[in-house]
Structure 1
Amino acid sequence: MTTQTVTTTNSPLSVASIVLSMTAVALGNGVMSAYIPFVLSRSDSPSWAAGGAITAVAFGGLVGCVVAGPLIRRVGHARLFAASMALVILGAFLIALGVNPILWIVGRTLYGAAGNTNFIIAQSWINHAASNAWRGKAMSFFYMAFVIGLGAGAWGFGQMPAEGNLAPLVTIFFTAIAILPISLTRLPTPPAPASVSVDIRMAWRNSPVGFVGVLAAGGFSMMVQGFTPIYAAENAVSQSDIAMLMFVMQLGMLFIQYPLGTLSDRIDRRLVLIIACGLIGVMAVAALFVSFSNLLLLMVVYAIWAGAVESVYSIANAHANDRTAPQDFVPLSSTLLVAWSTSATLMPLGVTLITPVFGPQTFIFAAMGLAVAYGGFVLLRLKGREAVPPAEREGFEMLSAQLPNATVITDPDNERADTTL
């Protein structure tokens, strides 16, 4: 079976259809990410329901990471994208039926599996279509558009009634829109992705700091991004204010992650990871004491907190790649992908189970403790191996800890995608 090769005539505009589709997906998910915790926290649902919905998304994402490759090889990128969008619509339909924690958790599991699958498809298509000259810019723009879409969707929820089923219907609308651009694209179909080959020993041997950092980032992201709207809703914060809070948290990724990432290209990345952990810990303390009545200050705190969380993921990824030989890039990426998804499932599950005992601030203490533990681990590792010289490092790539990084898995014919900023 032959595969099509990347043509040199493609331009950055050629991947616009993929970016538009995934931005529409992000808008719909942003709406649901705000709507579900707000409604479950304000309803008579069991105390575990809101946290269970967060865990369900992460668990579904883990399933999506595992099955995406085999399914793409079986039916192709475009067909699987449409099929997984159908799962997103089905999940939103279950939520539109009315407040039912079990149905909502099933719906969010479907979204998690479909969402990660579609993200892997989109990464594959962009990697295949882009040339080395502009691949990095395309991937950075793709990530930024998606993250801003998440924030804009959350803000949009603040402008619509929480009662009734308008929010899931809006998600269905955006999901249907998302099918059109990528289904009608004239870009050639990418080759089948590499299989997910997990090699924990290799990942640990090459970069304990990178491997543990990705594990920590999965927990950080799902706790901070997932439990914040629940915590705010339980403190009687209005719907519109919660929506704005979630929007500025996404902006925090852009304004905190990029400076820290640039710094990590110039000095030892482990030092920057310690700085990021320090920011996470300090902002967690601030989140405990800043009153919800001082909403502007609270938004600043949570924006910095979320941005620092995203930075751990991106810099840990870069650090792991710095210390890995090109022939190990695919198994490393596979291992980090599964590690992130596993942690993103188990950490919110643990927080959900102990929150009834320790209260709604449990996730803040958990994030604080994780930051101290990982920061201490990185500090100990500083006494071990020397830093990789800047000239020999992979360039920093802006990534989101809310999404799996499968850029190597999805493009097996490229020895290394040039995704530097």
Structure 2
Amino acid sequence: MLDVLKNSWALLLGMLLLMLGNGLQGSLLGVRGPEAGFSAGMMSIVMSGYFAGFLIASRITPGMIRRVGHVRVFAALGSLVSAVLILFPAVVDPIAWTAGRVIIGFCFCGVYVTAESWLNDSATNETRGQALSAYMIVQMAGVIAAQGLLLVPDSSGFLLFVIPSVLVSVAFAPILLSISPTPAFETTKPMTLRELYHFSPLGVIGMFLLGGVFAAQFGMAAVYAAEIGLSLAQISGFIASFYVGALVLQYPLGWLSDRMDRRTLVCAGAAMGAAAAAVAMVFGEGFSVLLGAAFVIGGSANPLYSLLIAHTNDHLDASDMASASAGLLFVNGLGAIAGPLVIGWMMAMFGPPGFFVLILVLLSVMSVYALFRMTQRAPISVEDTGIYTALSPAATPIAVEVAQEYAIEVAEDLEDEASGD
């Protein structure tokens, strides 16, 4: 890990600052929107814009990088993010905010794609797994720390929008001043959804459902918290609990996934998250209950992202893993776009508890479907499964492809050791 920090400290520091800015802007809009009179339905459209932009950029950014290079794409998108963040308090309009969220989602995806390709280029076969772990920890830590910035006094109404703009601008300094050669950039053509579903029905269905859950916690949690009248300190703690749970439970669930049928773990993890959502629906008036529910939902749902990728890989040849990962992320992105829109409708129908209603439904369906799939296909022996690599749901296709490369390398090393014995 020391070698990773030595070679990639500037990139990781820059990513930490970027995640601070990104985590703050999402929560801040969720708080300021209801204060400005935006309904839950309006805010659901605003919040879904980020995921639409993110999905579009995942397809367009690789071409941009090949045409003009990493540095230009990185700097241009970062400048655009800073400008849009300043415009949010100046133009308080749902249409303008939706457009701004689309642009920010597009830009952040492009920035992540560029940074992740640099991270992969700086890592060796021996340090790639550690680099991915450090990257995931930095992403989660940045979002968690960002919630504390919500508590900064802002009598003008502009300061909290200036802070993420400054953080994003400063984030590029250590990265652009320290990284010398730009890596060659290649991406893999996605596998068709029909082919992907044939290999792993649970992977496809699970990733779509999980996209909705992730969008709920990243896009609509602040809206829900503001709707029920939580204070800024409570909103900060509530949102942070999702990501603290994800960070704490990621590796224990990963350890289990390498030692049992992964479908069983998907079923159990989704059921655990659904149960927490049900408790929050019934007893959500207590703030401590909300914190506990958010911790369990984040801790069970976020690791499912890596788990579903690992489960899908178990049914693929190594040569198909990269193309399958691109398809899985596309499905996840579709679910993320739909998630806030459906939650907005649910909150209009059932009031604020509709936030947890959708999470309950999505995770329950995933749990039941995983149980059904266990009756349709015999389990793969633990010895024949690939390794679990922890990833954040905010990862782009580049990070997932790097994880796939790492899994393949480890599998090949194990085969070489076995043949040597």
Length-normalised TM-score, structure 2: 0.91
Aligned residue identity for 1:128: D
165-174 vs 39-48, which moves further: 39-48
Superposition pairs for residues 122-161 of structure 1, below 5 Å?
Answer: 122-161=115-154
Which of 322, 327, 331 does residue 314 from structure 2 map onto? 322
2:359 corresponding residue in structure 1: 367
Contact 1:121 1:410 in 2 (8 A): no
How far did residue 282 of structure 1 move?
0.6
Flag structure 1 segments of 5+ consecutive residues without an equivalent. 1-9
Q: How far apart are the structure 1 equivalents of 2:203 and 2:328?
A: 9
Which of 94, 114, 121 does residue 121 from structure 1 map onto? 114
Which of 100, 122, 145 does residue 93 from structure 2 map onto? 100
Q: Does 1:376 align with 2:368?
A: yes
1:345 corresponding residue in structure 2: 337
**CA 1:151/1:405 → structure 2, altered by over 3 Å: closer, same or farther?**
farther
Q: How far apart are the structure 1 equivalents of 2:400 and 2:272?
A: 30
Q: Does 1:302 align with 2:294?
A: yes
**CA 1:289/1:404 → structure 2, altered by over 3 Å: closer, same or farther?**
farther
Contact 2:58 2:397 in 1 (8 A): no
Superposition pairs for residues 170-189 of structure 1, below 5 Å?
Answer: 170-189=163-182
Which of 273, 287, 290 does residue 280 from structure 2 map onto? 287
**CA 1:413/1:359 → structure 2, altered by over 3 Å: closer, same or farther?**
closer
**CA 1:333/1:236 → structure 2, altered by over 3 Å: closer, same or farther?**
same
Q: How far apart are the structure 2 equivalents of 1:407 and 1:150?
A: 18
Show CA shifts across 1:42-64 (max 9, x none).
22224422212210111111111
1:5 corresponding residue in structure 2: none
Contact 1:340 1:404 in 2 (8 A): no
Q: Does 1:36 align with 2:38?
A: no
Contact 1:135 1:418 in 2 (8 A): no
How far did residue 386 of structure 1 move?
2.4
1:247 corresponding residue in structure 2: 240
203-212 vs 411-420, which moves further: 411-420
Q: How far apart are the structure 2 equivalents of 1:28 and 1:88?
A: 10
Contact 2:152 2:160 in 1 (8 A): no
| SS of structure 1 residue aligned to 2:179 | coil
Q: Percent identity, please.
A: 26
159-168 vs 408-417, which moves further: 408-417
| SS of structure 2 residue aligned to 1:398 | coil
Aligned residue identity for 1:16: W
How far did residue 411 of structure 1 move?
9.5
Larger helix fraction of residues: 2
Q: How far apart are the structure 2 equivalents of 1:408 and 1:416?
A: 12
How far did residue 163 of structure 1 move?
5.3
How far did residue 159 of structure 1 move?
2.7
Aligned residue identity for 1:105: T
Contact 2:11 2:115 in 1 (8 A): yes
Aligned residue identity for 1:197: P
Contact 1:399 1:405 in 2 (8 A): no
How far did residue 262 of structure 1 move?
1.2
Q: Does 1:395 align with 2:387?
A: yes
**CA 1:374/1:123 → structure 2, altered by over 3 Å: closer, same or farther?**
same
How far did residue 98 of structure 1 move?
4.4
Contact 1:65 1:337 in 2 (8 A): no
Aligned residue identity for 2:142: G
Q: How far apart are the structure 2 equivalents of 1:413 and 1:289?
A: 44
How far did residue 364 of structure 1 move?
1.2
| SS of structure 2 residue aligned to 1:133 | coil
How far did residue 236 of structure 1 move?
1.0
| SS of structure 2 residue aligned to 1:89 | helix
2:419 corresponding residue in structure 1: none
| SS of structure 1 residue aligned to 2:157 | coil
C-alpha RMSD of matched pairs (Å)? 2.3
How far did residue 393 of structure 1 move?
2.1
Q: How far apart are the structure 1 equivalents of 2:409 and 2:179?
A: 22
2:46 corresponding residue in structure 1: 53
Show CA shifts across 1:151-173 (max 9, x none).
11112112332751111100110
2:161 corresponding residue in structure 1: 168
211-220 vs 387-396, which moves further: 387-396
Contact 1:69 1:196 in 2 (8 A): no
Q: How far apart are the structure 2 equivalents of 1:267 and 1:94?
A: 50
| SS of structure 1 residue aligned to 2:398 | coil
Aligned residue identity for 2:309: N
2:55 corresponding residue in structure 1: 62
Aligned residues between the structures = 410
Q: How far apart are the structure 2 equivalents of 1:201 and 1:369?
A: 25
Aligned residue identity for 2:234: D
Flag structure 2 segments of 5+ consecutive residues without an equivalent. 414-421
| SS of structure 2 residue aligned to 1:48 | helix
Contact 1:24 1:178 in 2 (8 A): yes
Contact 2:242 2:294 in 1 (8 A): yes
Which of 277, 281, 286 does residue 270 from structure 2 map onto? 277
